[in-house]
Amino acid sequence: MTQLEKAERFKALHHTGQAFIIPNPYDVGTARLLASYGFEALATTSAGFAFTQGMRDRTVGRERMMAHVAEIAEATHLPVSGDLENGFGDEPEEAAETVRQAAAAGLVGASIEDSIPGQPNAQYDPHLAEERILAAVEAARALPFPFTLTARAENFISGNPDLDATIGRLQAYEKAGADVLYAPGLSKAEQIGTVVRAVGLPLNVVMGLRGTALTQAELSELGVARISVGSALARTALATILRAAEEMAASGTFKFAEDAVNFSQINDRLDT
């Protein structure tokens, strides 16, 4: 499947009237395993990848991240969207350049967020945040295929859980030309329904955070277009490793291995 075909397929998934799940692999192996279950698209996770590199979230630079997303895009036949943090720079042109590099790496979509790296609970000024999305959109529209640009309002995970402020930012990003909107941290049905009604673009909702227990069917009924899980798969896998490490270090036992899958379960999946 060509990049153009993947891009068209990915864009169409957002307009079926039903919410689709876009899981987040953190390496080539998990990408191929997830693809074997029949998901229609994948999205990278910046935090999940950082953890595989022994690095803190949001410390992986653009060059290293682009090499990673290129590997994921190449690993399966599925369309892949990238978690590209803040676009790896404060200025609008940096967000635009990140989109261009993402497309060159094989992605057919990406998200750009409005939180500021290195400044806990800080977001860009609304005007600058909108300019950054506008620049990313302009770069996306210049590509020879329909690149799906997702704009993220980080209020709920940046210490500002104000629904009106979140909606205001999302509406500004819609005006700037984004294709999909995303406000991580929304967890209650009434919040999500309010956002869906307030905007005119497909909405991505992340599940897998604490307190996010809505089902695919419930989210679809609310009008959500896309459901991601962010770093939840990576953190779940790491939870198993941490529990196993604690057991070995504390008691010298190996009961954790009783829950391990057998070799054939993984081999068979990787052969599909």
Q: Identify the CATH number of the domain in which residue 172 sits.
A: 3.20.20.60
* pLDDT reading at 194 higher than 90: yes
Tell me the pTM: 0.97
- CA-CA-CA-CA dihedral for 75, 80, 84, 87, to nearest 10: 120
Arithmetic mean of pLDDT over the chain: 97
Return the bridge partners of 21, or none: 227
Domain range for residue 171?
3-231
* pLDDT reading at 195 higher than 90: yes
- Residue 118 in any domain: the answer is yes
Pair 225, 14: CB distance under 8 Å: yes
* pLDDT reading at 156 higher than 80: yes
Average pLDDT in the 8-24 region?
98
Which among 165, 33, 46, 24 has a CA at the least distance from the CA of 102?
46
- Residue 8 in any domain: the answer is yes
* pLDDT reading at 212 higher than 80: no
- Residue 172 in any domain: the answer is yes
- Residue 270 in any domain: the answer is no
- Residue 201 in any domain: the answer is yes
- Residue 272 in any domain: the answer is no
If one counts every other C-beta atom within 10 angstroms of the C-beta of residue 125, the result is 10
The structural domain count of the chain equals 1
- Half-sphere exposure for 238 (CA within 13 Å, toward CB): 14
Average pLDDT in the 108-119 region?
96
- Half-sphere exposure for 148 (CA within 13 Å, toward CB): 31
Centroid of chain to Cα 50: 14
If one counts every other C-beta atom within 10 angstroms of the C-beta of residue 163, the result is 17
- Residue 154 in any domain: the answer is yes
Give the range among 51-65, 84-98, 199-213 with minimum mean pLDDT. Answer: 199-213
How does pLDDT run across 25-47, given as a tens digit for each residue?
999 999 999 999 999 999 999 99
Six token digits for residue 97:
């350049």
Which residues fall within 8 angstroms of residue 233, CB to CB, at 6 or more apart?
Answer: 23, 24, 25, 26, 30, 45, 48, 208
How does pLDDT run across 228-257, given as a tens digit for each residue?
999 999 999 999 999 999 999 999 999 999
- Residue 58 in any domain: the answer is yes
